[in-house]
Amino acid sequence: MTIDWDNLGFDYIKTPFRYISTWKNGQWDEGELTEDNTLHIHEGSAALHYGQQCFEGLKAYRCKDGSINLFRVDENSKRMNRSARRLLMAEVPEDKFIRAVEEVVKANEAFVPPYGSGSTLYLRPLLIGVGEGIGVKPAPEYLFTVFCMPVGAYFKGGLTPTNFIFSDYDRAAPQGTGAIKVGGNYAASFLPGEEAKEKSFSDCIYLDPKTHTKIEEVGSANFFGITKDDRFITPLSPSILPSITKYSLLYLAEHNLGMEAVEEDVYIDSLDQFKEAGACGTAAVISPIGAIQTYDDFHVFYSETEVGPVTQKLYDELTGIQFGDIAAPDGWIRNI
Ligand code: PLP
Ligand code: COI
């Protein structure tokens, strides 16, 4: 298979190896790499009926010297275990999680895109409740798998600004599952996302489910804005996914760019305070937001065609660290 590294989208590509491990009778087995990309599971599996499953997304980055960087993989492990605890699933020990990710990257090394292509190897850890069952209760067994594929930009055009539209739907409830990474949140986002795309927007932006007056997040990324007085602001809410990219940007905005960086309410009638805005996440990286179609306005931020200077700087810092060109804060990078 020949891959056009410079022009990858975000699509499934079968790579040779994935890791799989089973939890049964109260313990995990050793786990192994396999070439089989299908799962054979019980028809009564709780993952299929009651959505007892969670997942993660992280990337491996090819550095200039040919080595490979993993970015904050321990944070993905911690978040997966928070999801597991909320859904009463078996947790995956952090060392097992990290070992699985590293084994999958090494086994599929030929699929880690070259430095400079802008593409990366996307890793998808997945934990599902399986085994015999039919009552509404946690599964007796769990499968943990990690598979991977090379990917490019999630939103078409990468650093080209993209437009979003406010949604009338809610993605998650205040005390529900919005803050964990479970499949049900994403199933609930298909219809709103589809309706946004039919109107030529990249995706929708969800508002706080209680009052619909504050920005929550995009269906697959967090929101941030740069105020006219150069503050980095990102929404604070119990129903959004705590994005590892978002927390990294909060740190970089403060420590590397000298900005004030805060999580706080972002009211939909205060969009004028922002000179730039963006969506951030592992898949999205940093996608500048050109404009948002609000309920009564088409609000343009910096530009619909050009990335703003602060967003560009944040992008350069973040990706510079991920690809090993800029020194990383302690513990952010595992070089393999
Ligand atoms: N919000 C949602 C709903 C997501 O699916 C993601 C992707 O993981 C993010 C935010 C960004 O999170 P992270 O930066 O940890 O990838
Ligand atoms: C990610 O950024 O890793 C995500 O999970 C977003 C989306 C692909 C679900």
In this prediction, residue 250 carries a pLDDT of 98
Q: Residues 15, 148: contact at Cβ < 8 Å?
A: yes
Residue 164 Cα to chain centre, angstroms: 17
CB 281 near ligand 1, within 6 Å: yes
Give the distance (Å) from ligand 1 centre to CA of residue 26.
30
pLDDT in tens, 118-173: 999 999 999 999 999 999 999 999 999 999 999 998 887 778 999 999 999 999 88
In this prediction, residue 2 carries a pLDDT of 85
* Distance (Å, whole) CA 116 – CA 262: 32
Please provide the size of the chain in residues.
Answer: 336
pLDDT in tens, 309-318: 999 999 999 9
* Distance (Å, whole) CA 226 – CA 312: 12
For the CA atoms of 258, 264, 270, 274, the dihedral, rounded to the nearest 10 degrees, stands at: 20
Under DSSP, is residue 157 helix (H, G, I), strand (E, B) or coil?
Answer: coil
197 a catalytic residue: no
Mutation test residue for ligand 2: of 58, 155, 220, the one with most atoms within 8 Å of CB: 220
Give phi and psi for 320, each to the nearest 5. -60, -40
Of 214, 222, 270, 265, nearest to 243 by C-alpha is 222
Query: What would the mean pLDDT of 106-117 be, rounded to a whole number?
Result: 96
Catalytic residue among 78, 96, 181, 199: 181
Is the pLDDT score of 69 beyond 80?
yes
In this prediction, residue 253 carries a pLDDT of 98
Neighbours of 82 (CB within 10 A): 16
pLDDT in tens, 163-216: 999 999 999 888 999 999 999 999 999 999 999 999 999 999 999 999 999 999
Residue 131 Ramachandran class (φ > 0 left, ψ -120 to 50 alpha, else beta): left
Q: Residues 50, 40: contact at Cβ < 8 Å?
A: no
Mutation test residue for ligand 2: of 11, 154, 171, the one with most atoms within 8 Å of CB: 154
What's this model's pTM, rounded to 2 decimal places?
Answer: 0.96
* Distance (Å, whole) CA 155 – CA 145: 26
CB 118 near ligand 2, within 6 Å: no
Alpha-helical regions (H) of the chain: 46-50, 73-86, 94-107, 183-198, 244-255, 309-322
CA atoms within a 13 Å half-sphere pointing along the CA-CB vector of 279: 33
CB 220 near ligand 2, within 6 Å: yes
CB 76 near ligand 1, within 6 Å: no
For the CA atoms of 73, 79, 80, 85, the dihedral, rounded to the nearest 10 degrees, stands at: 150
Quote the percentage of the chain above a pLDDT of 70: 100
Q: Fill in the amino acid letter for 80.
A: M
Q: What residue has token string 């986002």?
A: 189
Ligand nearest to the CA of 224: 1
Q: Fill in the amino acid letter for 256.
A: N
pLDDT in tens, 72-89: 999 999 999 999 999 999
